[in-house]
Homo-oligomer: A and B are copies of this chain.
Amino acid sequence: MKKLINDPADVVAQALAGMAAAHPELRVDEQNRLILRGDAPVPGKVGLVSGGGSGHEPLHGGFVGFGMLDAACAGEVFTSPVPDQILAATAAVDAGAGVLHIVKNYTGDVMNFDMAAELAAAETGAEVVAVVVDDDVAVRDSLYTAGRRGVGGTVVLEKIAGAAAEQGRPLAAVAELARTVNARSRSMGMALTSCTVPAAGRPTFELGETEMEIGIGIHGEPGRRRVPLAPAREVAAMLVEPILSDLPYDRGDRVICFVNGMGGTPLLELYVMYNEVARILRGHGVRIARSLVGPYITSLEMAGCSVTLTRVDDELLDLWDAPVRTPALRWGV
């Protein structure tokens, strides 16, 4: 295992310390492993809390800040955060306007966020609404999930819901909007190589030198099928066609087109992929309103990519374009 770490047991804690040192505008609660907006709780604003296993950076900690999340809970690598963490985050961002939990659909995450919401209601009286993200079209029910997995759509949802909360919208409205974004988002990913969880010390799965996995999850969990390596244009079709037919996205629809790197794939290749994805969308008459290209929801050093489409209208686009200031997404401020 070749990694820039000290001790596999300390990776998450030390990365959080690095976040704290690099981003003084954020507050890091090292004990609870939380990344918080420096000004949380923001008076009058709905608090947005997300979180999940580490190893997907910049998700979620890199999306904490003005216009996006109020707090992110960092679990161990590829492991759900525990209820106490989520409870602490919920309490820290609750300014009385309620708290939205943004939960990727993995069994452990859903259970622990549920438990935290119950504890919060009992202990602090916080009003909590949870929205579960399940945008992955690859598989139903997998290693860590009942139903579809939550993947790239999470990034889009956190941006748009964050902008709505920043505008002062009430909890029910922010939650409804988040559900809308999830309902209009579909994703699918693929891997060229595996990844190694530091504590495990060996690759999560094996993939032959001439194979790739289509429909991979962000923890290396199995996808739809293992196929021989293929050119980018065929890979793009394997990802985009199932996405398009799933919602479905229709001629004339406008989308945010998000081509995500899994961690080990160079940006050069992501733009080659983006070119192929855009070509397929043009062929279907689907119009790209905004784009995002880069590693935003990763699986450690896995080589591969995912594609996420979110169907948007003017309101969603305005919220996407609204100012945001986080370590990983920033514009307008």
Residues of A near any B CB (own CB < 8 A)? 2-7, 11-12, 14-19, 21-23, 54-55, 57-58, 62, 77, 192-193, 209, 212, 229, 231-233, 235, 257, 259, 263-276, 278, 288, 291, 293, 295, 298, 300-301, 303-305, 325, 327, 330-333
Tell whether, in the assembled complex, residue B55 and residue A266 are in contact, meaning their CB atoms are under 8 Å apart.
yes
Tell whether, in the assembled complex, residue A231 and residue B266 are in contact, meaning their CB atoms are under 8 Å apart.
no
Residues of B near A15 (CB, < 8 A) are: 268-269, 271-272, 275
Pick the most buried of A6, A212, A273, A300: most chain B CB atoms within 10 A of its CB. Answer: A6
Residues of B near A276 (CB, < 8 A) are: 6
CB<8 Å pairs between A and B, sample of 14 = A2-B303, A3-B192, A3-B269, A4-B265, A4-B269, A4-B273, A6-B272, A11-B272, A15-B271, A22-B257, A22-B274, A55-B266, A263-B264, A325-B331
Residues of B near A300 (CB, < 8 A) are: 266, 268
Contacting residue for A6 out of B21, B231, B265, CB 8 A: B231
CA distance A274 to B14 in the complex (A): 9
A163 vs chain B, min Cβ distance (A): 16
Contacting residue for A273 out of B18, B62, B229, B235, CB 8 A: B18
Contacting residue for A330 out of B17, B270, B288, B330, CB 8 A: B330
Residues of B near A18 (CB, < 8 A) are: 270-275, 278, 293
CA distance A7 to B266 in the complex (A): 16
- Number of copies of this chain that the complex holds: 2
Tell whether, in the assembled complex, residue B303 and residue A303 are in contact, meaning their CB atoms are under 8 Å apart.
no
A247 vs chain B, min Cβ distance (A): 21
Residues of B near A58 (CB, < 8 A) are: 267
Contacting residue for A301 out of B275, B303, B330, CB 8 A: B303
A137 vs chain B, min Cβ distance (A): 19
Residues of B near A257 (CB, < 8 A) are: 22
Contacting residue for A269 out of B5, B267, B291, CB 8 A: B5
With known contacts A2-B192, A263-B266, A272–B62 Cβ distance under 8 A? no
Residues of B near A54 (CB, < 8 A) are: 268
A226 vs chain B, min Cβ distance (A): 13
Contacting residue for A2 out of B229, B278, B331, CB 8 A: B229
CA distance A295 to B296 in the complex (A): 12
Smallest Cβ-Cβ distance to A22: which chain B residue? B291
A213 vs chain B, min Cβ distance (A): 11
Tell whether, in the assembled complex, residue A272 and residue B5 are in contact, meaning their CB atoms are under 8 Å apart.
yes
Residues of B near A269 (CB, < 8 A) are: 3-5, 11, 15
